[in-house]
Amino acid sequence: MDLKVSDLSVARGGRTLLETVGFRVAAGRALALRGPNGIGKTSLLRVLAGLQPPRTGRVDPGPDAIAYAAHADGIKPSLTVAENLRFWARVFGGPDISTALEAYALAPLASRPAAYLSAGQKRRLGLARLLVTNRPVWVLDEPTVSLDRDAVALFAESVRQHLSQGGLAVIATHVDLGLDAETLDITPFRPARPRIDPGFDEAFA
């Protein structure tokens, strides 16, 4: 399955951030999104995940094929690592959690309440969730924040594994993951003249 994004424009808070964004990611490939802070990477990824409607354009396939991971990992501190992960596995109808625990070296921590995890361990748990979603397209927003070098390697390995099974990934990151990934700088998609989203306040100004 390929991910096709065509003529997408993305607005946030009434401002059009990106226009005519188009790219295509083939199955088994990864795409690294680059661009300075505030350019609209997070908004773009939220649009891909279907959390925010695009101003124009379309994303194919739709949100049902996409697993999304962002800054907040959605971890409940009072549940154990295994319980957190099992919950997401059941919600997404995904596979058994043992592979995911292994992939991020979380097995020894499985019965520890998530409240006692370090920031990096929480991040690993948040990323392990991707493995139980059973979805082919990963949309990841700065996945390596607070990961140490070993954990980044685990993550890269997990992405590689995912790609080799026919999945694909769109990753906004500033770290070189050592993946064989195309890079897309989204700076050129910034509107030529800064402008206000027409649906929003154009009629008033």
Residues binding another protein (CB under 8 A): 13-15, 49-53, 63-64, 66-68, 70-76, 78-79, 83, 87-88, 90-93, 129, 193-196, 199-205
| Minimal distance, residue 178 CB to another protein, in Å | 27
- Here the tokens at position 117 are 């995890």
| Minimal distance, residue 88 CB to another protein, in Å | 7
User: In terms of CB distance, is 149 or 204 closer to another protein?
Assistant: 204
| Minimal distance, residue 5 CB to another protein, in Å | 17
Amino acid identity of residue 134, one-letter, is N
User: In terms of CB distance, is 171 or 179 closer to another protein?
Assistant: 171
CB contact at 8 A, 136 and 92? no
User: In terms of CB distance, is 121 or 179 closer to another protein?
Assistant: 121
Integer-rounded Cα Rg, in Å, for the chain is 18
| Minimal distance, residue 201 CB to another protein, in Å | 4
Beta strands in the chain (DSSP E): 3-12, 15-25, 30-34, 56-60, 66-69, 137-141, 168-172, 182-185
User: In terms of CB distance, is 25 or 141 closer to another protein?
Assistant: 141
Please report the DSSP string for 75-133 in residue order. Answer: --TTSBHHHHHHHHHHHHT---HHHHHHHTT-GGGTTSBGGG--HHHHHHHHHHHHHTS
- Here the tokens at position 15 are 């401002």
User: In terms of CB distance, is 65 or 157 closer to another protein?
Assistant: 65
| Among the listed residues 57, 53, 17, the one whose alpha carbon sits nearest the alpha carbon of residue 37 | 17
Beta strands in 148-189 (DSSP E): 168-172, 182-185
| Minimal distance, residue 105 CB to another protein, in Å | 22
User: In terms of CB distance, is 33 or 45 closer to another protein?
Assistant: 45
| Minimal distance, residue 133 CB to another protein, in Å | 8
